[in-house]
Amino acid sequence: MLSRSDREIIESSIRDIKDFPKEGIIFKDITTLLGDKKAFKILMNHLEDRYKSYNLDYIAGIDARGFIFGSILADRLNIGFVPIRKKGKLPFTTVAQKYSLEYGFDEVEIHIDAFEEGDRVLLIDDLIATGGTAEAGETLINQVGAICVENCFILELAFLNARDRLKAPVYSVVEIN
């Protein structure tokens, strides 16, 4: 369980950038969290403690910031890491899933042989907003035969209700209402 003071340290290490990428948006910049050795260590220790008893086989991280948290957590748990990448970035045979954006669609892919049937996988990313990317990632994990055990996000824009789009449970370190 993350203490109130540890949560405050993590939250205070995340910088707000007003009007990025467009006017009216407040962008949550995690690069300051990554550069804050105390906050980052608290976060990674918390995630390791939370997931060490989940009997996971893999962590799947969403392109690109999910790679940071996912690969470190996978190393700490002594399990494999699988990237879920934007279309055209993986070199082998892939399975793809489209998801909607504010204006149009995008697509993510995973290697068709990323998991064995029934492998237990944690999906991780830095932020869940509308949930389109997370839903696509969760779908890909299940489509190639694994089980998405939980979806983990460092930040959740809870007022957007994105967790309702996901089948597996959702855990967010910091919720923004």
Give the start-end residues of each E strand in the chain. 15-18, 26-29, 58-62, 80-86, 94-101, 104-111, 120-128, 147-157, 170-176
pLDDT value of residue 100: 87
Residue (of 56, 22, 26, 13) closest to 154 by Cα position: 13
Q: Which domains does the chain have, with CATH numbers?
A: 55-176 (3.40.50.2020)
Distance CA(132)–CA(122), nearest Å, equals 17
pLDDT confidence band for 160 (50 / 70 / 90): very high
Place of tokens 């309702």: 164
Which residues are annotated as catalytic?
Answer: 65, 102
In this prediction, residues 33-52 reach a mean pLDDT of 98
Instruction: Supply the pLDDT for residue 101.
Output: 77
Average pLDDT of the chain? 96
Q: What is the mean pLDDT of residues 140-162?
A: 97
> Would you tell me how many other CB atoms lie within 10 Å of the CB of residue 153?
26
Element (H, E) at 37: helix 37-51
What confidence tens digit (pLDDT) does each residue in 57-107 have? 999 999 999 999 999 999 999 999 999 999 999 999 999 999 987 677 999
Residue 177 or residue 59, greater confidence: 59
Tell me what percent of the residues of the chain surpass a pLDDT of 70.
99
pLDDT of residue 18: 96
Within 13 Å and on the Cβ side, how many CA atoms surround 18?
A: 0
